[in-house]
Amino acid sequence: MFVVVSTSYVIVKIPAVYSALLLSSSQILMSLAIDTVFFDSFSLPLLLGSLLMLLGMGGNLFADKKANP
């Protein structure tokens, strides 16, 4: 229930591209955490890919804010 309410509140405030990247990277990070805790399996490429998505989104957000003060 919390996820649905918080997602519907946040999604309205950010563009669709950012919301898709944020949801995708958070699902990857959570699956990585679950795999590490329950199956003792850690995937560095998944972590790096998710962090790269978040860094790209942050860089794009910074560029958008800089272009439109």
Domain boundaries, the chain: 2-67
Q: Which of 61, 29, 24 is nearest to 48 (CA)?
A: 29
Q: Would you state the pLDDT for residue 10? A: 72
Tell me the whole-structure pTM to 2 decimals. 0.75
Q: Would you state the pLDDT for residue 47? A: 94
Whether 7 has a pLDDT exceeding 90, the answer reads no
For the four alpha carbons of 3, 5, 8 and 61, in that order, the dihedral sign comes to negative
Q: What is the pLDDT of residues 9-41, one digit of tens each?
A: 777 778 888 888 888 888 999 999 999 999 999
Q: Would you state the pLDDT for residue 12? A: 77
